[in-house]
Chain A
Amino acid sequence: MRAVLSGITVRFGDLVAVNNVSLTIEPGEIHAVVGENGAGKTTLMNALFGLVQPEAGKILLDGNERHWASPQEAIAAGLGMVHQHFMLQDSMTVLENIVLTAEPVGRLGFVDFARARRLLTARAKAHGITLPLDRRVDSLSVGEKQVVEILKLLYRDSRLLILDEPTSVLTPREKERLFGVLKSFRDEGRAVVLITHKLDEVMESADRVSVMRGGHLVSSGPLSATSREEIARQIVGGGLPAPRQRTARVAGDTVLSVERLEVAGRGRTVGPLSFSVRAGEIVGIAGVSGNGQAELIAALTGLRRPLSGSISLLGRPIEALDVEARRRAGMSYIPEDRQRVGLALAASISENANAGRDDRTAFTRGAFLDRKAMARFARMLIERYRIRAAGPSVPAATLSGGNKQKLVVGRELERGTPLIIAENPTWGVDIGAIDFIHGELLRLRGEGHALLLVSSELDEILALSDRILVMFDGRFAGEVSGAEADPERIGSMMTSGAAELLPEVA
């Protein structure tokens, strides 16, 4: 199916999210749409899929102009979308999830599961996908859930597939499989649109690439006619940030010391873990997410009570202290989940910026909050951390993902505590924001703070860490110094034995 978008404009209030964009999606091609967060990639594709109504412009499928009243009409016309967040029913089986909303019905409206199973098995086989159809979705790995999403589209025989950031949660091996399947779709004559901000994926798998910035289409053409550097330049709209250089530094005294820490995890115990972080060093914890990193962080920050072991901060035992007392003792925490843990989305930027500071005399007048001082502080954060926001009093929910993250990072780093714990600090943020956050973390390292960085992005760990601890199955599989880190070796530690455990998903 050939889709032509012509002069599409989408407006949200005063914001022009997509500005007069024209684009052609050819059958039998993987078409990458790239750009920073908030560049309008997802909004453009939502318009094609009927999730938002464009203010102007035309959508043509195989030459016929189409208007969607709802995504249901777009689905019926052969479009399919895998959303950034999984749209799955966890307590249902794989098969139930796939047929849901497109159920083949037999007598009296009962679902003909046998028919669905036959159809699906045949189609999946053609693309080399195997998946246990009777497993409950909540027992699947993230990669397998992604496969369920793709099987949904295959089951509906979508001719044009839109995938919104499909790899942000996948392991390298799962990514490889995903792209194998997408290429197989392409070779069958389906059109595949890949929304992403990862250039590696674009270079590796796309046939055509369109770059968006600030709601405009910057370029669109075959991949062979452009280069990685040019795409990167078009994404950020100017020169690229230089790669960060870590300056050599001798680490100081021990700030965080963990001895034989054990934490209860889902169905197993994490630990025993022992390690320390010294002043002026970044210790990176690498690993595929779900190997105990979350439990370790929760135990360190006081969100979960450890089973045994000791934690000391600046030589003082803190394992019995609560979250607030630990923060006062000299700890800051940038959580992975900015939506639920990092921020209160309905509260204003100013309130979020001051969260955890309301006991300070600088922000109070007697028993009451000093709103003016709070707003001053929020404005300072907005300026220093280059948060794109309408002002300190707007709700945090109005910020884009990258700007939300900058707000959390700014609030935590401005505390200037001896220990900073950062958990996937650049998850889902664009290149510009990643560079900025990395720069801030390195600046604090230079100023003699101790940093514990947990990240499932190996590149991030390699770029920042002085020492790297690799976590696998609740324990440290090894330690490598940052200078002599070898991605191959760390990669094998991250998955020691894991490859065999994974079922064949794609």
Chain B
Amino acid sequence: MLDLLFDASFMASVPRFVTPILLAALGGALCERAGVFNIALEGFILTGAFAAVLGSYFSGSPWLGAIAAMAAGIAIGLVFAEFHLRRGGDAIVVSIAINILAAGLTTYLLRAIFDVMGAFSDPAIVGFQPVRIPLIADIPVLGRVLSGQSPLVYVALLAVPAVHIFLARHRLGLRMRAAGENAAALEAGGVSPRRVRLWALVGCGTFCGLAGAQLSIANVNLFVENMSAGRGWIAIVAVLLTRGRPLPLFLIAAIFGTVDSFSFRVQGLGLAQQFTDMMPYLATLMVLVALSWWRKRQTA
């Protein structure tokens, strides 16, 4: 039974599930550290997924699809910035509006552009091809996990240390941390926290756009209404649990992604879909409980 669950093809599928959560969470981490309470990751991802399909369909290149996804993510980030940073709207209200807007807008555009409802699949949508990494591909089991994934998986893996170093050592990263912790002190030094947060939203849009592209033109080659399916929310939980620190974030995202992948797997083995759909959220609750227990022990 266990062999059936944890075979090589399951292992190979894990990165596909981890990557969208990880990318979105890295974007969310920038917002978290810069003091923007962005809970619109779901909307950001969904917009990115749609734009990726759009870009790939019309250009025939998954890379242009990914660029379109990033551009769409940044655009949504700028909408967030306009209403939250410039017009002073509450971050939660703006987030909810963006989540609803993204769901409605993608559904509408799906109909307006492709004249379909629900899902759009077409041979003209060119997805990313797996990248075979020499040498690593020949390692048993691990080779199938690390090699043969979409380019975006590697982008996500490289982004973890990159974001870590950016926050630790880059001027803008330092200022983002300051904007999130004591914005008044940053302002007293003559740097506008709003401008710093704008960059965090731009970065968040970029990462979430890529998360969407991984969903729509790497994992599959189609767009389905509401295909982000809660991954943005799980990414937010990961961000809040780790307070936006990239390295622990990677661990949490890996756990959630693995459970996500696992739930898909056991569904194939005949377990009720209603139950398997619940698993990522059960895992979230379990991590929350475990973490609070652990923190309590640390302080006691």
**A and B interact:** yes
Binding site for B on A (CB under 8 A): 70-73, 75, 81, 83, 86-92, 96, 99-103, 105, 108-111, 113
CA distance A83 to B188 in the complex (A): 9
Chain A residues within an 8 Å CB radius of B84:
none
- Least Cβ–Cβ distance between A214 and chain B, in angstroms: 27
The total of Cβ contacts below 8 Å across the A-B interface reads 62
A72 in contact with B170 given A88-B185, A90-B182 (CB within 8 Å): no
A89 contacts B185, C-beta separation under 8 Å: yes
CA distance A99 to B175 in the complex (A): 10
In the complex, the chain B residue whose C-beta lies closest to that of A83 is B188
**Which of A87, A92, A109 is close to B171, meaning CB atoms less than 8 Å apart?**
A109
The 9 closest A-B pairs by CB, nearest first: A72-B190, A101-B189, A87-B185, A103-B171, A87-B188, A101-B191, A89-B181, A109-B171, A89-B178
- Least Cβ–Cβ distance between B138 and chain A, in angstroms: 36
A105 contacts B188, C-beta separation under 8 Å: no
B169 contacts A113, C-beta separation under 8 Å: yes
A105 contacts B171, C-beta separation under 8 Å: yes
CA distance A99 to B169 in the complex (A): 11
A75 in contact with B189 given A87-B182, A90-B181, A100-B174 (CB within 8 Å): yes
CA distance A81 to B187 in the complex (A): 13
CA distance A89 to B181 in the complex (A): 6
A87 in contact with B169 given A92-B177, A96-B174, A100-B178 (CB within 8 Å): no
Q: How large is the interface on B (under 10, 10 to 19, 20 to 34, 35 or more residues)?
A: 10 to 19
Contact code string B143-178 (vs A, CB < 8 Å = 1, else 0): 000000000000000000000000001111011011
B255 CB–A CB distance under 8 Å? no
Beyond known contacts A72-B190, A73-B190: 5 more, CB 8 A cutoff? A71-B188, A75-B189, A89-B178, A89-B182, A101-B190
In the complex, the chain A residue whose C-beta lies closest to that of B172 is A109
B103 CB–A CB distance under 8 Å? no
Chain A residues within an 8 Å CB radius of B170:
108-111
Chain B residues within an 8 Å CB radius of A71:
188, 190
CA distance A111 to B191 in the complex (A): 16
CA distance A301 to B300 in the complex (A): 24
B251 CB–A CB distance under 8 Å? no
A89 in contact with B190 given A110-B169, A111-B171 (CB within 8 Å): no
- Least Cβ–Cβ distance between A115 and chain B, in angstroms: 13
A89 contacts B171, C-beta separation under 8 Å: no
**Which of B169, B181, B186 is close to A101, meaning CB atoms less than 8 Å apart?**
B186
13 contacting pairs across A/B (C-beta < 8 A): A71-B188, A72-B189, A75-B190, A89-B178, A89-B181, A89-B185, A100-B175, A101-B178, A103-B174, A109-B172, A110-B169, A110-B170, A111-B171
Q: Within residues 188 to 202 of chain B, which ones have a CB less than 8 A from any CB in chain A?
A: 188-191
CA distance A110 to B189 in the complex (A): 19
Q: Within residues 2 to 25 of chain B, which ones have a CB less than 8 A from any CB in chain A?
A: none
In the complex, the chain B residue whose C-beta lies closest to that of A104 is B171
B172 contacts A100, C-beta separation under 8 Å: no
- Least Cβ–Cβ distance between B200 and chain A, in angstroms: 15
B101 CB–A CB distance under 8 Å? no
- Least Cβ–Cβ distance between A90 and chain B, in angstroms: 7
B184 CB–A CB distance under 8 Å? yes
B190 contacts A87, C-beta separation under 8 Å: no
- Least Cβ–Cβ distance between B15 and chain A, in angstroms: 29
B186 contacts A100, C-beta separation under 8 Å: yes
CA distance A105 to B173 in the complex (A): 12
Contact code string B260-280 (vs A, CB < 8 Å = 1, else 0): 000000000000000000000
B189 contacts A89, C-beta separation under 8 Å: no
A91 in contact with B171 given A72-B190, A83-B188 (CB within 8 Å): no
**Which of A75, A88, A103, A108 is close to B182, meaning CB atoms less than 8 Å apart?**
A88
Chain B residues within an 8 Å CB radius of A110:
169-171
In the complex, the chain B residue whose C-beta lies closest to that of A156 is B189
Chain A residues within an 8 Å CB radius of B189:
72, 75, 87, 100-102
A92 contacts B181, C-beta separation under 8 Å: yes
A70 contacts B181, C-beta separation under 8 Å: no
In the complex, the chain A residue whose C-beta lies closest to that of B243 is A91
- Least Cβ–Cβ distance between A152 and chain B, in angstroms: 8
Chain B residues within an 8 Å CB radius of A92:
174, 177-178, 181
CA distance A96 to B174 in the complex (A): 8
**Which of A72, A73, A101 is close to B175, meaning CB atoms less than 8 Å apart?**
A101
- Least Cβ–Cβ distance between B187 and chain A, in angstroms: 8
CA distance A296 to B169 in the complex (A): 42
Contact code string B206-239 (vs A, CB < 8 Å = 1, else 0): 0000000000000000000000000000000000
CA distance A493 to B118 in the complex (A): 77
CA distance A109 to B185 in the complex (A): 21
Chain B residues within an 8 Å CB radius of A83:
188
Chain B residues within an 8 Å CB radius of A70:
190
A91 contacts B186, C-beta separation under 8 Å: no
CA distance A75 to B191 in the complex (A): 12
CA distance A353 to B65 in the complex (A): 63
- Least Cβ–Cβ distance between B181 and chain A, in angstroms: 5
B184 contacts A87, C-beta separation under 8 Å: yes
CA distance A154 to B191 in the complex (A): 19
In the complex, the chain B residue whose C-beta lies closest to that of A103 is B171
- Least Cβ–Cβ distance between B161 and chain A, in angstroms: 14
B185 contacts A111, C-beta separation under 8 Å: no
Chain A residues within an 8 Å CB radius of B172:
109
Chain A residues within an 8 Å CB radius of B191:
72, 101
CA distance A101 to B189 in the complex (A): 6
- Least Cβ–Cβ distance between A116 and chain B, in angstroms: 11
